[in-house]
Structure 1
């Protein structure tokens, strides 16, 4: 990566951009030497987006419009901008995405130096019968993965990965059946129906545990137990290795709080061997 590409990459870091806006950013990084001289129409054509998308992109970066962004790029070019960034300066877009994830995982490791909140979450979830696990849209994969493994040790896991009015019915039914807690995976861009579903859960008396990208996630409310791990925005779509790993840590804490977890796992392994479920 050239020094000009590195300067552009740093300009975009730390901003919450939509997938379309990230495509524009990546196009500019690839054409870093030309970027300060491109019109909004030319940039839109190169990125395969509309001209208004380029304007919204500039505004999302904190500029009044695209002309202001282009002036900043030209000033940076004239002044020499920011110097090379070590290993990142020579990395391609895919390597930078990996390095960004490593940064998020390091932060998570530091946060887990005090495991008290994760352990509290594990106890709350272990005690809930049934245990609703909610995750919609971008967070559906994390919810599905947690529910898949949790069902091997918890007797009443209820996966909630589809929205709509039926979602509210299922949360209310879970509360009526004795659930005391709900686990929610909440990732950007936070769907409004997640906030609505959590409001129903709280109203039904459930303790809400949230694995989110931030402790101030828009779906969280006072009284929730929020555990956070950042997502990376280096690619067009968020990568969420750290939240996924945090979910596994919560799962481990839940296993520790379930007295019969090991016995259940052993029974599953025995039946899996008898049925020849796995190749190894």
Structure 2
């Protein structure tokens, strides 16, 4: 059902308030088609007229028409899922759909290329990922360090996080790559505010085009998170992280080649790998 909501808002030009409403509907996808306009307004922390304007921005006469459309989509999704195997198979197939959607969005190569240029030029390159996003930040940074001279992983919160952001900016950083995934830690957004105050351009890999990260990032790259199991699946965000790393390599091919060759020479000398 959250996929149905995302499909409705995909490509729509929404205000920050309308993005908050869309995000609320995604978060309450199972009940979204049964909520009244007043209930949606209360959940999203907005006024009821804002919910009406949101529905109209999506091409509907009002919120009741949008709710009817959500119910139609819910019924269609339920019929399709009946023949889609057990819950484990459905979770994996949903990840396949997330990857397929990501592949479609990558048709616009300029957005990814722009992210690559911004991040390649940042020396050092801070990479932010807290709680559930921390493993993705570390995974990206492990490989990025082979082609970028100074990658700094920011995966711990607390007062030291602001220190490390300020230190990165003082050392010459111009951009920050942030992994912003549910359940959106408050400290992540505090760090994004600090990053912008320090003059860093924020590139965010997040789960949705209506993610709260859109309020803080100059460039938002969405990749859906799987929600079919007890804990989220991050297949699409991880794939997008490697696509962004490819864009960094493409932004500076000569430096990339030189650094990779230097690493391979060092690895061979030290016999790092068995094969």
After TM superposition, the score normalised by the length of structure 2 is: 0.71
Partner of 1:268: 263
Q: Is the 8 A contact 2:203 2:220 kept in 1?
A: yes
The alpha-carbon deviation at position 236 of structure 1 amounts to: 1.1
1:116-155 equivalences in 2 (<5 Å): 116-155=110-149
- Preserved CA contact (<8 Å) 2:213 2:220: no
Whether 1:61 aligns to 2:31 is yes
Structure 1 CA distance, aligned partners of 2:77 and 2:148?
53
Superimposed CA distance per residue, residues 183-238 of structure 1 (whole angstroms, 9 cap, x where no aligned partner): 00110111110000010000011000001111221133266110111111111111
Are 1:121 and 1:225, in contact at CA under 8 Å, matched by a contact in 2?
Answer: yes
Q: 1:114 to 1:59 in 2, by over 3 A?
A: closer
Contact 2:119–2:177 (8 Å) recurs in 1: yes
Q: CA deviation at 1:60?
A: 6.6
**Alpha-carbon separation, structure 1, partners of 2:183 and 2:146:** 30
1:206 is aligned to 2:189? no
Matches within 5 A, 1:67-106: 85=79, 89-106=83-100
**In the alignment, structure 1 residue 238 sits paired with structure 2 residue 232:** yes
TM-score (norm 1): 0.70
Partner residue of 1:279?
A: 274
Match for 1:160 among 147, 154, 160? Answer: 154
Q: Deviations over 1:29-87 (max 9, x none)?
A: xxxxxxxxxxxxxxxxxxxxxxxxxxxxx9973568xxxxxxxxxxxxxxxx8798468
Instruction: Indicate which of 233, 245, 251 corresponds to 1:251.
Output: 245
Contact 1:232 1:238 in 2 (8 A): yes
Distance 1:14 1:236, change over 3 A: farther
Once the two structures are TM-superposed, the CA of residue 272 in structure 1 deviates from its matched residue by 1.0
Instruction: Call closer, same or farther: CA 1:88–1:278 in 2, change over 3 Å.
Output: farther
* Residue pair 1:186, 1:219 contacting (<8 A) in 2 also: yes
Work out the CA distance in 2 between the residues paired with 1:84 and 1:168.
46
The 8 Å contact of residues 129 and 179 in structure 2, kept in 1 or not, is answered as yes
Kindly report the root-mean-square deviation, in angstroms, between the aligned alpha carbons of the 2 structures: 2.6
* Gap change, CA 1:147 and 1:82, over 3 Å in 2: closer
Alpha-carbon distance, 1:239 to partner = 0.6
Q: 2:172 aligns with which of 178, 185, 198?
A: 178
Deviation string, structure 1 residues 139-190 (Cα, Å, up to 9, x no partner): 1111001100000010010000111110010001111111000000110111
Question: In the aligned structure 1, how far is the partner of 2:29 from the partner of 2:105?
Answer: 33
SS of alignment partner, residue 127 of structure 2:
strand
CA distance in 2: counterparts of 1:274 and 1:157, whole angstroms: 24
Counterparts of 1:93 and 1:235 in 2: how far apart (Å)? 8
Structure 1, unpaired ranges of 5+: 1-9, 16-57, 65-80
Provide the C-alpha distance between the structure 1 equivalents of 2:102 and 2:76, rounded to a whole number of angstroms.
Answer: 28
Unpaired runs of 5+ residues, structure 2, are 6-27, 36-74
